[in-house]
Structure 1
């Protein structure tokens, strides 16, 4: 057997072929399945299902998966073996395949559509280009067929379930200001769904790892999303895998087997008891991992759970320095030994390539397939089709079933409540009130502080470069009146602006506009995105400029996060506010053509009304919806007449 520079014999594990579930079916037999096994059950569809982590969570919460759809053959073989119903290989990016799926599912009464569509975020440049193609070149604004999140939304529209559950990583929203999430939420609300977007720490619901996920829920029976209380204590790695058999580890030799004897310890953690349900007595499956190189065996031996890869040289002898074969500067965390009494590192699909992030706390090896499955909360009776690497990849890509269960529980039907035709989602009402207030302000003295129906780059540029200066409102109004009727900056207008400037600081800021004086071409609409660079705008100034010319983005700062936090009823300065805070802000901003207007309104509210100290709640358009309303004095609960 070849060994080469890998340091261990090169081998592929055996291929585990799994037979279909006794209650699985095909498209041709689906109607019979609905009349038989599926009769009387609460049915769900899992799109982009992978191996079925979310399906397992739905099952625990009371649903039966009538159909799962994915493009990965190994994952579908796994799903077909572990679940009843359909397991379909389809490319949902193809509208013809969505037509086929709609036809197959037509006889079924689907209560819930779930899934984790790959949500490739738009770059701002990409959105700008799309918007330009729509406006000036006749492109269909709904031409999003190749985007899988759009395919997911399209299937929700076609199936029209009572409830919707979408799961994804938080980072997918941070790169595009949650544009995709806001768009999905807005379109669901147009269809009459109440929605909730929430960041969830999986360990709050029994998952023994650091794992934060973005959950979008929607339902059209009631506007209520009540999560159960988080677990009182974390499930540690010892709770998760401490009962599994110890494996003999000899460098370069095989580690573990497909089938091993399992002896139940006298004291079994509640988590392990849950994982052993339905598992064959006295047997554990797939407790196997990669062979261990001789140099890795020594590194695993000297490491502690807090040892960084860059610190290994201190622990190795002179003769062992070569064991550290990766650059310590480039790979500071290449290896990670887990700790018994802590949470595991997040299990990701990378575990299929190597297990160095998941070194066992005591045994000199990386986690086995079964241990990784346990950390992801797959029960021991759950098998994964294919090779060992296939199994690791499926596990790393999955939604932890216990997290799926917690999210699905929120969407359980309410007794004696049918789907509502006239449901008015709470956050849609909040956004409508915010939009109305913003439009009234825009018609008055705040015309330059909010995106206009026909934005003027010159106006936006002046506001942006002066945004950090302390200027009295009356002086700012005078400055903006000077340029109100102009779309380009002539020399005469520039001199007039400078003359009106009240201080040296304001004049120096306005001087930055000099490169665009008497250059009408540079102020044209098609050149609007070049303005920030030409006048040397700082990042915050550039963001405000883009907002004022109608760009759909989120201004994330202390004041806007404060408004969102107070309306949502959370601590203003909670930890990690740039991710949690953004999600709170998403609910207020929403999507659609008025999203920039609402963002501008939130900026004004945070700056002028919802201040850190002595907020002017009586003038705030959001006071009727604010979670802090019960705390306010009586005289602050009456909205003042909007001021121009």
Structure 2
């Protein structure tokens, strides 16, 4: 079985795609405690699923057993694959020691693949617009150097480095040029493309730079990804979930016979337990704005600008920037707009399309837009769950990448 290490793992969007494709995780490295708990819970799912004990995992989702009871039902070495640490230059020797212990426990002699991408805020166009020149001093610009230290230590056959398109132009392209040279010095050929999640069965337009490297002297290469066309629309993500109002929660599926999209992608499976279908409370002024935004889309098929709202609903002094701060998730389009971590602060940019509900989307709806399966459970508060989802790589996109790389890696492991 092909093994991998996931760096800057987040909640495990990349890992979900690779593990679902038959890869085995040796270690996940992540600094956020809530995301690490999510990774551990997901590790429990895969262990119990393989042991034909998935009912125990479902008991946890139903609230019938505690998280401690769930965690004690799997070997400690499974949970230990999740390393809750902030990667830093001074901490790398200790991190390598922990990974070496995990390799020994799992009887792994060498690492096949490294995946991951450092936090993208330092490279994002939005981050640069907000912080301007200060972004040049952001230490996150240089986290790729820690990634390269891991490459130098374990010399995997391939690596996948994911980030926002702004990576290519940050600091006038100098960061990326330095990165390319560093990967080459580490012994890897490198290529990259800007890929869109919508071409991997994800009903979301989400562009990401996917860098793939392989050891020099090997016959490996950047794979060709077939763009998948879909006849589905965003409504197919939402229509089996129960209608709820602002601030409500209902974890009982509204429709038992779910649609083809959910079946084909594996987002919903038979006997799944619905969780996190909970909406944040919205004040009445915001709900009035939501109804106006939804009605404008329904009747005119256009996005309303903030300055078009009735005067009594406009409370922001800034009337020149971010005029699209209220945006409906249009159910009749083939893709949703890009999911972002900002959804953890408010839901104005992701308004549910049903005017009778007039609320921001739930955690589960956001997870589905990102293509997380319904049996994927997010640990932590509602805010923490939204943050994990907004920062994640869509698992279906990760799976598409994993399956193409698998063709090359399996040949090398024979």
Is the pair's TM-score, using the shorter chain for normalization, greater than 0.5?
A: yes
For 1:237, the equivalent position in structure 2 comes to 234
How far apart are residue 416 of structure 1 and its match?
8.0
For 1:113, the equivalent position in structure 2 comes to 114
In structure 2, the CA distance between the partners of 1:269 and 1:106, relative to structure 1 (3 Å rule), is closer
Alpha-carbon deviations, 1:300-345, whole Å to 9, x = none?
Answer: 22223323233543xx4xxxx3222224434411100121122212
For 1:166, the equivalent position in structure 2 comes to 161
In structure 2, the CA distance between the partners of 1:217 and 1:236, relative to structure 1 (3 Å rule), is same
Distance (whole Å) between structure 1 residues aligned to residue 254 and residue 306 of structure 2:
38
Distance (whole Å) between structure 1 residues aligned to residue 212 and residue 172 of structure 2:
19
Distance (whole Å) between structure 2 residues aligned to residue 209 and residue 100 of structure 1:
39
In structure 2, the CA distance between the partners of 1:302 and 1:118, relative to structure 1 (3 Å rule), is closer
In structure 2, the CA distance between the partners of 1:294 and 1:162, relative to structure 1 (3 Å rule), is same
Distance (whole Å) between structure 2 residues aligned to residue 294 and residue 146 of structure 1:
41
1:222 aligns with 2:219: yes
Alpha-carbon deviations, 1:123-144, whole Å to 9, x = none?
Answer: 9x99x99xxxxxxxxxxxxxx9
Distance (whole Å) between structure 1 residues aligned to residue 188 and residue 17 of structure 2:
22
1:52 aligns with 2:9: no
In structure 2, the CA distance between the partners of 1:222 and 1:410, relative to structure 1 (3 Å rule), is farther
1:347 aligns with 2:339: yes
1:572-591 to 2 correspondences below 5 Å: none
Distance (whole Å) between structure 2 residues aligned to residue 145 and residue 392 of structure 1:
22
**Cα RMSD for the two superposed structures:** 3.0
For 1:490, the equivalent position in structure 2 comes to none
Residue of 15, 25, 43 corresponding to 1:65: 25
Alpha-carbon deviations, 1:504-525, whole Å to 9, x = none?
Answer: xxxxxxxxxxxxxxxxxxxxxx
How far apart are residue 106 of structure 1 and its match?
4.8
How far apart are residue 273 of structure 1 and its match?
4.7
Give the SS at the match of 1:356: coil
Distance (whole Å) between structure 2 residues aligned to residue 98 and residue 217 of structure 1:
24
For 1:337, the equivalent position in structure 2 comes to 328
Contact preservation (8 Å) 1:166, 1:215: yes
In structure 2, the CA distance between the partners of 1:276 and 1:376, relative to structure 1 (3 Å rule), is closer
For 2:174, the equivalent position in structure 1 comes to 179
Give the SS at the match of 2:195: strand
Residue of 301, 304, 308 corresponding to 2:304: 308
Residue of 143, 154, 160 corresponding to 1:148: 143
1:297 aligns with 2:257: no
Distance (whole Å) between structure 2 residues aligned to residue 204 and residue 307 of structure 1:
24
1:254 aligns with 2:247: yes
Unpaired stretches in structure 2, ≥5 consecutive residues: 48-77
Residue of 90, 95, 100 corresponding to 2:92: 95
How far apart are residue 235 of structure 1 and its match?
4.6
Distance (whole Å) between structure 2 residues aligned to residue 180 and residue 330 of structure 1:
28
For 2:205, the equivalent position in structure 1 comes to 210
Distance (whole Å) between structure 2 residues aligned to residue 390 and residue 276 of structure 1:
21
For 2:35, the equivalent position in structure 1 comes to 75
Contact preservation (8 Å) 1:90, 1:97: no
1:494-643 to 2 correspondences below 5 Å: none
For 1:374, the equivalent position in structure 2 comes to 368
Distance (whole Å) between structure 2 residues aligned to residue 334 and residue 192 of structure 1:
45
1:284 aligns with 2:281: no
Normalising by structure 1, report the TM-score. 0.51
Normalising by structure 2, report the TM-score. 0.77
1:268 aligns with 2:270: no
* Bigger RCO (CA 8 Å, 6+ sep): 2
How far apart are residue 147 of structure 1 and its match?
3.1
Give the SS at the match of 2:337: coil
Contact preservation (8 Å) 2:202, 2:394: yes
Unpaired stretches in structure 1, ≥5 consecutive residues: 1-40, 130-143, 420-644
Structure ID, larger Rg: 1
